[in-house]
């Protein structure tokens, strides 16, 4: 998870003038099978669980074994800073939970 990475400027310059994509999530497939990259995720705060489904790229991505893929979105700083867990559902709809380290 990378907030305000340099990729924001690259996407704004190279990809159809897309701006404001300030959150990059990088996925590493450590399995021996292809897995789909998520097209949405949830953020948990102390009060609520918020769905984030405005992801770029919007088309399905398969992550090959031992390969990487990234997804991007526009993230509100206050929401990001108040979130403690990122939740992704796998292809079987099981939740995978990842703590957010704000350091």
Q: pLDDT-based confidence at 12, cuts 50/70/90?
A: low
Q: Is the pTM of this model over 0.75?
A: yes
Element of type H or E holding 12: helix 7-14
Q: List the chain domain ranges.
A: 2-99
What pLDDT score was predicted for residue 95?
95
Query: Looking at the domain covering 2-99, what would its CATH class be?
Result: mainly beta
Q: What's residue 21's pLDDT?
A: 83
Q: What is the pLDDT of residues 28-79, one digit of tens each?
A: 999 999 999 999 999 999 999 999 999 998 888 999 999 999 999 999 999 9
Structure tokens at 5: 């990475």
Question: Does residue 15 carry a pLDDT above 90?
Answer: no
- Asked whether residue 10 carries a pLDDT value surpassing 60, the answer given is no
Question: Do you find a cis peptide bond into 57, omega within 30 degrees of 0?
Answer: yes
| pLDDT at residue 20, as a whole number | 78
Do residues 15 and 57 touch, judged by C-beta distance below 8 A? no
pLDDT of residue 3: 59
């Amino acid at each position: 998870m990378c907030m305000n990475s340099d990729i924001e400027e690259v996407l704004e310059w190279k990809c159809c003038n897309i701006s404001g994509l300030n959150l990059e999530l990088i996925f590493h497939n450590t399995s021996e099978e292809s897995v789909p990259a998520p097209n949405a995720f949830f953020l948990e705060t102390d009060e609520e669980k918020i769905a984030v489904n405005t992801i770029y790229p919007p088309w399905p991505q398969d992550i090959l074994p031992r390969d990487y893929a990234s997804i991007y979105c526009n993230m509100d700083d206050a929401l990001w800073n108040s979130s403690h867990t990122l939740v992704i559902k796998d292809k079987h709809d099981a939740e995978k939970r990842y703590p957010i380290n704000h350091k």
